Amino acid sequence: MRHYEAMYIVDPELTEEELTPIIERYQKVVTDMGGVVSEAGLWEQGRRPLAYPIAGRREGIYILMRFEAGKDVPAELDRVLRISDNVLRHIVVRPDADEE
């Protein structure tokens, strides 16, 4: 299993009660495919200004998820994040990819 990080930006108008199921939804994508989520939650303070407006928004809530999984999981997570209405932008990376 490899280490991965997923960072996604969600709509800043979501409440904390609406944020929890969103975070759990993407954790479930990883765990259903045999991965293990080590950390998931708001990145730093969470709400931050965007470098440029995205979908008319000037702020976003940044969420970071660290996980271990097989090589098929990031592609599926990327697909699910891409079609989500609440996610403005996302990226899934292997932080230790340069060590190989």
Spell out where 1-100 has E strands. 2-10, 36-54, 57-69, 87-93
Contact 73, 35 (CB under 8 A): yes
Is the overall model pTM greater than 0.75, yes or no?
yes
- Residue 34 phi/psi, 5-degree rounding, is 90, 5
Write the pLDDT tens digit of every residue in 2-56. 999 999 999 999 988 999 999 999 999 999 999 999 999 999 878 999 999 998 9
CA distance 30 to 67: 8
Q: Does CATH number 3.30.930.10 belong to domain 2-51+63-99? A: no
Query: What are the residue ranges spanned by the domains of the chain?
Result: 2-51+63-99
Contact 20, 42 (CB under 8 A): no
